[in-house]
């Protein structure tokens, strides 16, 4: 009987319509590729193709059964050059032989065993296959997708366990001079039999393919490759790997850190990194212990020399005790074709060791007579006390800033050993309690509050960038500054309405589309809305002018201020339509503007009319005028007090006045036009700027 498999590699009896393990409809799974390899075909008189299970830039991957090993499932990874010349075929085989010799050296229970390098001529085309053991299990990407359907993600405990189990594997391959190059949730599998992570799909195959292509193109046969080759996944590989192809042991650790963040947050790398300054913003999505947070930040340092350089170094940080290294002999099973080998790997001790006294050697009669019963008892007592004190020293703290008011500032030198419990002064405890009460009163999400204050604090004290504040006495003054910054931020956030505050941390670009659609219905464009929102936001956070902040935590505050202005336009508290009295050629409107406040007016005017606008107000009051279609800006954020124009369009013109004064100011706006006429009901629709043209807070 021939077994059949779903896309996850689960084995099912012949004739199954649905996978017995995951429920996938097997009939929908492709059984062959376009290379002429069909399901049921036997390659090399040994491997029966079951189905295609993947496809990459250099070939396809197939699930097969090994006829020489009682139909054991195995994986065939194909490299089929698009250009078939004697040079390409010869060079590919040479390099694949070298790569195969590397894979052959990898004898570790958490790495698929390499079986052989297979060369096949299929329909006149040379193809090379790497044959490896098949792993019965699921990729971590598949596991994450399944959890997300249930509203779940990986926990910090699970990620710590994953680190403990996969780092010894990396230490092993690195000790042999092998770099994986392509670590991601797709290339880590959780094996069903023992629930251990398995490292698959080494990037050396891609390196071989890229080298073959590069050397072939340099022969002059053709001028340039049709497509560039990137080794490693964008977002997972460190910058230097994607830019130059340079890899090292810390390259794998960088990719492992990104993998952990994806599993913890359920977000892809491009959703977690600020593309403006290439800083990771994962703390918006999840709150971790400060210890693991510091470890991740160090692993993701943009400067390669600032990262952990080896897996052993990282293991020692995770377990601040000596790592016991001992030989592990692989168990011989029915799948092995090679004799058992011995590989040296790091065995990590338990996370929280139980205090056990050092062993006491009781002397034999031939030993010196100093080992009296009394001396033995003394030695036992001393060693027991010493062991206990050592355990107390490494015991994790029960009180830290994350419990009360964390200052999670990325650090390139995370503390590697937990510190003893520290008690804050009565004054500091009282201060932190007030902050907690105020935050809860304003109904601000705790995680967002921490990331926002951290950003403002770092910008206020740039010399502390990369430093994490500890709960030690020497950082008491800095903690006071952080708390003062937090109090100032909370006070500024109190200017936002409760409805808009409650959404802080959850605003997305979708809000802009909603704002635009609804205010367009009353002939107001998004430029006017942003003028009002910017005035309110920069009144409270003037230091953000000319900064690219929209994707930073402070950008969420901008959204909240704009949302308030949006609601105020809809309820007409800051929106008014100017209608000329019958027989008049103009109208005057007036009012008082509070600091950071503004108002938008619209007036229906005709094309070719001569319009004049006069504004009487403090110099801190700015004026903007936009055409009905939004294509023409007559003036913007201007201190001009008189504007004369021959109108280019027919429709509703927008007049925006905003105050940048620190006190309330009065204004008087007069709009006059010759032979004014109301536009027809089908006034010129507002043509909002495209996303690349849309005024954003960065440009103001």
Most confident of the ranges 271-280, 458-467, 612-621: 612-621
Q: How confident is the model at residue 247 (pLDDT cuts 50, 70, 90)?
A: confident
pLDDT of 101 reads 75
**CB-based burial label for 177 (10 Å; 0-12, 13-18, 19+):** exposed
State mean pLDDT over 603-610: 92
**Average of pLDDT values for 314-343?**
50
Q: For residue 98, what are the contacts with CB-CB under 8 A and spacing of at least 6?
A: 208
Residue scoring higher pLDDT (446 or 421): 446
| pLDDT for position 130 | 86
Q: What is the pLDDT of residue 35?
A: 54
Phi, psi angles (nearest 5°) of residue 118: -115, 130
Is the predicted pLDDT of residue 687 greater than 60, yes or no?
no
Query: Which of the two residues, 410 and 521, has the higher pLDDT score?
Result: 521
pLDDT at 230: 43
From residue 592, give the alpha-carbon distance in Å to each of 527, 658, 661, 665. 22, 10, 12, 6
Give the pLDDT score at 599.
Answer: 96
Closest listed residue to residue 181, CA positions, set 242, 252, 130, 105: 252
Phi, psi of 448 (to 5 degrees): -65, -40
Q: Which residue has the higher pLDDT, 246 or 577?
A: 577
* Catalytic member of 45, 133, 136, 182: 182
DSSP state of 306: G
Q: Taking Cα atoms as reference points, which of 70, 71, 67 lies closest to residue 4? A: 71
Proportion of the chain above pLDDT 70, given as a percent: 69
* Whether the predicted pLDDT of 387 surpasses 50: no
Residues near 55 by beta carbon (within 8 Å), at least 6 away in sequence: 33, 61
User: HEC profile for 100-127?
Assistant: HHHHHHCCCCCCCCEEEEEEEEECCEEE
Q: Report the chain's mean pLDDT, rounded to a whole number.
A: 76
Residue 156 has pLDDT above 90, yes or no: yes
Q: What band does 270 get if pLDDT is binned at 50, 70 and 90?
A: confident
pTM: 0.44
Grade residue 413 by pLDDT with cuts at 50, 70 and 90: very low
Close Cβ partners of 372 (under 8 Å, ≥ 6 residues apart) = none
pLDDT at 105 over 50: yes
8 Å CB contact between 118 and 59:
no
Which band of pLDDT confidence, cut at 50, 70 and 90, is reported for residue 697? very low
Is 182 known to be catalytic?
yes
- Which position has the token pair 């993600």? 153
Q: Are 658 and 622 in contact (CB under 8 A)?
A: yes
> Averaged over 61-71, what is the pLDDT?
90
Is a pLDDT exceeding 50 seen at residue 469? yes
Residue 688 confidence (pLDDT) above 70: no
Average pLDDT over residues 22-42: 60
pLDDT for residue 354 is more than 50: no
């Amino acid at each position: 009987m021939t077994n059949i498999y779903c896309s996850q590699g689960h084995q099912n009896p012949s004739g199954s319509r649905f996978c017995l393990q995951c429920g996938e409809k097997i009939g929908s799974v492709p059984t062959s590729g376009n290379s002429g390899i069909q399901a049921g075909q036997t390659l090399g008189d040994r491997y029966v193709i079951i189905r295609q299970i993947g496809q990459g830039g250099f070939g396809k991957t197939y699930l097969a059964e090994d006829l020489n090993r009682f139909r054991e499932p195995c994986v065939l990874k194909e490299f089929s050059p698009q250009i078939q010349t004697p040079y390409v075929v010869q060079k590919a085989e040479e390099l694949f032989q070298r790569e195969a010799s590397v894979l052959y050296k990898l004898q570790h229970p958490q790495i698929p065993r390499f079986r052989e390098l297979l060369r096949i001529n299929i329909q006149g085309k040379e193809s090379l296959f790497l044959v490896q053991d098949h792993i019965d299990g699921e990729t971590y990407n598949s596991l994450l997708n399944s959890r997300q359907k249930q509203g779940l993600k990986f926990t910090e405990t699970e990620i710590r366990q994953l680190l403990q189990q996969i780092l010894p594997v990396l230490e092993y391959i690195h000790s042999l001079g092998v770099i994986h190059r392509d670590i991601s949730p797709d290339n880590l599998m959780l094996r069903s039999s023992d629930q251990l992570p398995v490292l698959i799909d080494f990037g050396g195959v891609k390196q071989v393919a890229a080298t073959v292509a590069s050397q072939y193109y340099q022969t002059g046969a053709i001028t340039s490759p049709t497509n560039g080759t990137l080794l490693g996944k964008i977002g997972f590989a460190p910058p230097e790997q994607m830019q130059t192809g340079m890899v090292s042991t810390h390259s794998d650790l960088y990719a492992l850190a990104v993998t952990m963040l994806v599993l913890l947050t359920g977000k892809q790398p491009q959703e977690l990194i600020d593309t403006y300054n290439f800083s990771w913003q994962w703390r918006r999505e999840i709150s971790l212990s400060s210890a693991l947070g510091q470890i991740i930040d160090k692993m993701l340092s943009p400067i390669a020399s600032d990262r952990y350089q080896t897996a052993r170094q990282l293991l020692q940080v995770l377990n601040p005790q000596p790592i016991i290294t001992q030989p592990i002999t692989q168990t011989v099973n029915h799948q092995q074709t090679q004799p058992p080998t011995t590989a040296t790997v790091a065995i990590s001790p338990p996370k929280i060791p139980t205090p056990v006294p050092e062993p006491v050697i009781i002397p034999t009669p031939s030993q010196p007579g100093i080992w009296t019963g009394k001396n033995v008892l003394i030695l036992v007592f001393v060693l027991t006390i010493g062991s206990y004190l050592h355990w107390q020293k490494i015991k994790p703290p029960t009180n830290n800033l994350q419990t009360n008011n964390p200052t999670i500032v990325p650090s390139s030198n995370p503390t590697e050993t937990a510190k003893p419990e520290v008690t804050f002064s009565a004054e500091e405890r009282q201060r932190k309690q007030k902050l907690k009460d105020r935050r809860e009163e304003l109904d601000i999400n705790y995680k967002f509050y921490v990331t926002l204050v951290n950003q403002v604090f770092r910008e206020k004290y740039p010399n502390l960038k990369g430093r994490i504040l500890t709960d030690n006495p020497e950082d008491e003054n800095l903690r006071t500054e952080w708390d003062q910054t937090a109090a100032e931020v909370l006070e500024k956030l109190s200017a936002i309405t409760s409805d808009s505050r409650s959404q802080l941390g959850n605003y997305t670009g979708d809000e802009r589309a909603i704002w635009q659609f609804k205010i367009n219905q009353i002939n107001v464009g998004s430029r006017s809305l942003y003028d009002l929102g910017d005035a309110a936001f920069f009144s409270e956070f003037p230091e953000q002018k000319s900064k690219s902040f929209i994707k930073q935590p402070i950008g969420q505050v901008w959204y909240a201020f704009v949302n308030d202005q949006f609601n105020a336009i809809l309820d007409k508290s800051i929106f008014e339509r100017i209608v000329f009295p019958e027989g008049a050629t103009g109208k005057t409107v007036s009012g008082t503007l509070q600091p950071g406040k503004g108002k938008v007016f619209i007036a229906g005017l005709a094309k070719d009319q001569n319009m004049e606008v006069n504004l009487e107000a403090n110099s801190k009051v700015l004026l903007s005028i936009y055409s009905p279609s939004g294509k023409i800006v007559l003036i913007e954020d201007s201190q001009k007090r008189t504007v004369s124009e021959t109108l280019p369009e027919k429709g509703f013109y927008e007049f925006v006045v905003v105050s940048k004064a620190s006190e309330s100011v009065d204004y008087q706006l007069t709009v006059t036009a010759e032979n004014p006429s109301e536009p027809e009901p089908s006034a010129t629709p507002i043509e909002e700027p495209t996303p690349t043209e849309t005024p954003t807070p960065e440009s103001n």
